């Protein structure tokens, strides 16, 4: 629980940093934003479906992370470049992370689940 709470704080800090980003950096690529939002929605749906089975959750989320490496890399590059997200996308992403936190449920302390989410969270 403590590790996931730390992750939520890190996400909140990253969100604030992006909100305060240099406006001269420009807007994030709309196509990349849509891909990232769709990716997060997929992760959330999978997490909600697998919440009772930590092993399945870890396996499925890990597969999603692997299959979407390019989306994660593009999101990371955009964040590093301080590209601004559209307000609706930023709100959707923040809400999705809150739902993910709740959906992890009984798997919140599972090391395999933490490892599966690491590619997403390490870049925030």
Residue 95: closest CA among 33, 28, 32, 37: 37
Residue 64 banded pLDDT, cuts 50, 70, 90: very high
At 84 the three-state DSSP class reads strand
Which one is predicted more confidently, 25 or 105? 105
Q: Check whether 18 has a pLDDT greater than 90.
A: no
Residue 42: closest CA among 100, 105, 115, 91: 100
Q: What per-residue confidence (pLDDT) applies to 20?
A: 43
Q: CA neighbours within 13 Å on the CB side: how many for 117?
A: 27
Task: Give the length of the chain.
Answer: 124
Helix, strand, coil % in the chain, rounded to nearest 5: 80, 0, 20
Q: What per-residue confidence (pLDDT) applies to 62?
A: 97
Domain boundaries, the chain: 2-121
At 27 the three-state DSSP class reads strand
Q: What per-residue confidence (pLDDT) applies to 110?
A: 96
């Amino acid at each position: 629980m403590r590790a996931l709470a730390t992750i939520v704080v890190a996400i909140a800090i990253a969100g604030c940093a992006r909100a305060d980003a240099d406006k001269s950096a420009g807007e994030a690529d709309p196509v990349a934003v849509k891909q990232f939002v769709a990716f997060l929605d997929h992760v959330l749906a999978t997490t909600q479906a697998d919440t009772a089975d930590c092993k399945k959750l870890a396996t499925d989320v890990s597969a999603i992370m692997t299959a979407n490496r390019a989306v994660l890399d593009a999101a990371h590059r955009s964040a590093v470049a301080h590209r601004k997200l559209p307000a609706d996308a930023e709100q959707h992403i923040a809400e999705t992370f809150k739902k993910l936190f709740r959906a992890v449920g009984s798997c919140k302390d599972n090391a395999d689940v933490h490892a599966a989410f690491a590619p997403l969270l390490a870049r925030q």
